[in-house]
């Protein structure tokens, strides 16, 4: 049986972005209150070489989760402050078997800057925003 051609689109898109100077990184985020519907999105914060402080770099808006034959998914829109248009993508959700309110999501982050950097994350909803994550990642 032949595979549907639409499955090739992410590969072609990824190759085109790499050739255009975009770095693609995988970011795994655990969200303790995701199952309660308390997370509207995530902010990625990049450490500024100038100020030495973490500054907002990319807002990732999450849709409501949905069940598919392949598993539970969430659509997300990456809207970064670098002037590039937002990218709409989909990620699989893994629920913590001991706490179904906690979900782990693996997102792909498209970094348009030439150099890598240190990042932290925060989650947000209509009521406000969480503190920055204690974990630092390099993207």
> In the structure encoding, which two tokens stand for residue 92, read together?
């699989």
Can you give the residue ranges of every domain in the chain? 24-138
pTM for the model stands at: 0.78
Q: How far is CA 24 from CA 16, 38, 68, 70, 91, in A?
A: 11, 28, 25, 24, 15
**What tens-digit pLDDT sequence spans the chain (139 residues)?**
443 433 333 433 443 433 344 577 888 999 988 888 889 999 999 999 999 999 998 899 999 889 999 999 999 998 887 666 677 899 999 999 999 899 999 998 877 666 788 999 999 999 999 999 999 999 8
∠ at Cα 43 (105, 127), nearest 5°? 95
**Could you identify the residue written with the tokens 């947000």?**
124
């Amino acid at each position: 049986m032949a595979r549907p051609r639409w499955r090739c689109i992410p590969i072609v898109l990824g190759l085109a972005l790499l050739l255009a100077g975009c770095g693609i990184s995988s970011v795994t985020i655990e969200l303790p209150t995701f199952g309660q519907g308390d997370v509207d999105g995530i902010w990625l914060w990049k450490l500024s070489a100038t100020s030495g402080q973490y500054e907002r770099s990319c807002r990732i808006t999450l849709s409501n989760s949905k069940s598919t034959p392949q598993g539970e998914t969430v659509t997300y829109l990456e809207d970064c402050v670098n002037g590039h248009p937002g990218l709409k993508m989909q990620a699989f959700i893994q629920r913590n078997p001991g706490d179904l309110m906690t979900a782990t999501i693996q997102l792909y982050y498209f970094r348009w800057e030439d150099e890598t950097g240190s990042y932290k994350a925060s989650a947000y909803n209509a009521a406000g925003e969480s503190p920055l994550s204690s974990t630092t990642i390099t993207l």
